[in-house]
Structure 1
């Protein structure tokens, strides 16, 4: 956005962790379109010095296996570019649902887009009139309540507002957690999560999460609590999130007694026969670490350190957990 604001100079920075997250691929892509972006400190990382100008080029190539946030960022500015934008994605394309969700929003706003094969094309255009939207609730935030129901002896939780034909890739939760003992019932914009009666917990599950990487932490912790071994793949983007999430998961789950092996793309969990109790879970300034481990309190006493980190995406999380009966001592 700032790269397209003519004659406007901006310094874009953030927290210590934000300054450790690589941004070079996006900066290179924008500069190839005619942007004027430089690094204030270390090459490849924020802070960035941005001198806004009109972007004159209309074609860029990016690896398809990078964070979809880079791709979505380019898509969102594309209609404002004089000649529109064509994005060619090389290699295997991951996180496709996030790309198609961005495309569908642009389509709803009246812009002309296409996503065929490895090519995204967006024509220039402007919004002709304001629109009013009802925004669906976040499926990744629902994952923690799926985990709670999976780890509970019994119970039901109602959540609003969710649609059976969701654009969000993380709606895959419905099918994933059916294999972990949770039934999802849709009813007038709400979902009811309920424990499947007489469910037999699987010894092992294997999932490719390349399209839903934000679910990895929650699923891993659910499996840990259920005593289910798991193989999770498609996780290559987790190392450049708020923390190195693969390493963080390994460290914290091993505190609880599990055996965890990780690669750049995968996690293998061998569950602990007995979970260690009263373990203090480090959250690494990562909101999803805190929320993913919280449901485990149903199986073993734990403490979540730096619990306020959830404010990044779900500031009312702990209040909602108290509402359904969690002890505040956990956090």
Structure 2
């Protein structure tokens, strides 16, 4: 499905309920599989979370998690300790191009039995679950925090717990801290100090319900809308000021565009206020790379040059997001320079018309570009890809006066 998107309304308002965080939900599902006494509320309705749930409930030998990268990493560790279980873990074509070698090597050093079915270092992988006795592991920390979180989540179920030694600069530290806080909320003891993470063994956990906060990455598209609009007032639920999610930095970053955030008991109010916007935006997004696409498109819409760094993990996402951003932004007439770690936008004052944005099987490409409909009508191809993290995205945009015309051409 493709969509033509436009919106002539420059003064926006509405109340939007956003699904639970995919990141929190997926961590809690792994914990719940290990400790069934845990209950989860406000679970994400994203495709990724549904695929993870289905995998955890399946007794089949072949487990297909499609495009769900988090599920691939977390389940690799989970099945490695599932004694007596043998599975082949696979996914979409893009998933078979996304590396898992660092995580597999770490698990093998702990005694895990994992073999590559096709290409060395990549899914599909065959995992024979067994008891792992080794209580120490070393892991490079500058590739993906999901590898680290995968080990942290199985650590309390190990007889001796786990000490994880990190090598190099740590990428996406907030996601590691999120995993640690979720473990602590469930009743697991753990520590993260410098380059060392220690998770203590935990035989059982008390009955407890853990609520998932709504997804801050999904909120980013409404921050972008507010920034681009003449005036805006959005109430988004359910959010809290002491968020575990690194993308909550949105509140501070978008202040520069005149978007102010008021925290209420279970919601946030976004208001666009008159004021200056940055002459040039410079941000290091090492701890929140998932908002890079949103920020780049916001700057494109506002004719604001930007220089975003800390983006090396975007090369191994659903697509190479840096190359994809360059390709699609330049269709509108602006210039983009990318390196392995950065993106620089040199915007044009005029927008090209009749542009078709490709999404590359990447949900964030579709959603990040959508707010640009406030400036120029254009088409987004394969728009249903949003279901990976935000199935109700297009319906929520319709509530804000967006004209969404679906087609299959």
TM-score range, shorter chain: over 0.9
- The 2-side partners of 1:325 and 1:108 are apart by 40
| CA deviation after TM superposition for structure 1 residue 188, in Å | 2.0
Establish whether residue 122 from structure 1 lines up as the match of residue 199 from structure 2. Answer: yes
Structure-to-structure mapping, 1:178-327, within 5 angstroms: 178-197=255-274, 199-327=275-403
CA RMSD of aligned residues (A): 1.0
| CA deviation after TM superposition for structure 1 residue 330, in Å | 7.5
2:186 and 2:210 in contact (8 A); partners too: no
| CA deviation after TM superposition for structure 1 residue 132, in Å | 0.8
* Residue number in structure 1 paired with 2:100: 23
- The correspondence for 1:79, drawn from 156, 160, 169, is 156
2:217 and 2:290 in contact (8 A); partners too: yes
| CA deviation after TM superposition for structure 1 residue 297, in Å | 0.5
* Residue number in structure 1 paired with 2:86: 9
- The 1-side partners of 2:348 and 2:135 are apart by 53
Structure 1 residue ranges without an equivalent (≥5):
none
* Residue number in structure 2 paired with 1:59: 136
* Residue number in structure 2 paired with 1:50: 127
Structure 2 residue ranges without an equivalent (≥5):
1-77
Per the alignment, in what secondary structure is the counterpart of residue 272 of structure 1?
coil
| CA deviation after TM superposition for structure 1 residue 251, in Å | 0.2
2:178 and 2:245 in contact (8 A); partners too: yes
- The correspondence for 1:162, drawn from 216, 228, 239, is 239
- The 2-side partners of 1:256 and 1:315 are apart by 27
Per the alignment, in what secondary structure is the counterpart of residue 336 of structure 2?
strand
- TM-superposition CA deviations, 1:87-124 (whole Å, max 9, x none): 11111112110000100111111111010000000111
* Residue number in structure 2 paired with 1:111: 188
| CA deviation after TM superposition for structure 1 residue 189, in Å | 1.3
* Residue number in structure 1 paired with 2:22: none
Q: Which moved more, 1:273-282 or 1:225-234?
A: 273-282
1:297 and 1:330 in contact (8 A); partners too: no
Q: 1:239 to 1:183 in 2, by over 3 A?
A: same
Per the alignment, in what secondary structure is the counterpart of residue 197 of structure 2?
strand
1:58 and 1:86 in contact (8 A); partners too: yes
| CA deviation after TM superposition for structure 1 residue 299, in Å | 0.7
- The 2-side partners of 1:187 and 1:330 are apart by 36
| CA deviation after TM superposition for structure 1 residue 52, in Å | 0.5
- The 1-side partners of 2:203 and 2:378 are apart by 52
User: What's the TM-score once normalised by structure 1's chain length?
Assistant: 0.98
Structure-to-structure mapping, 1:87-106, within 5 angstroms: 87-106=164-183
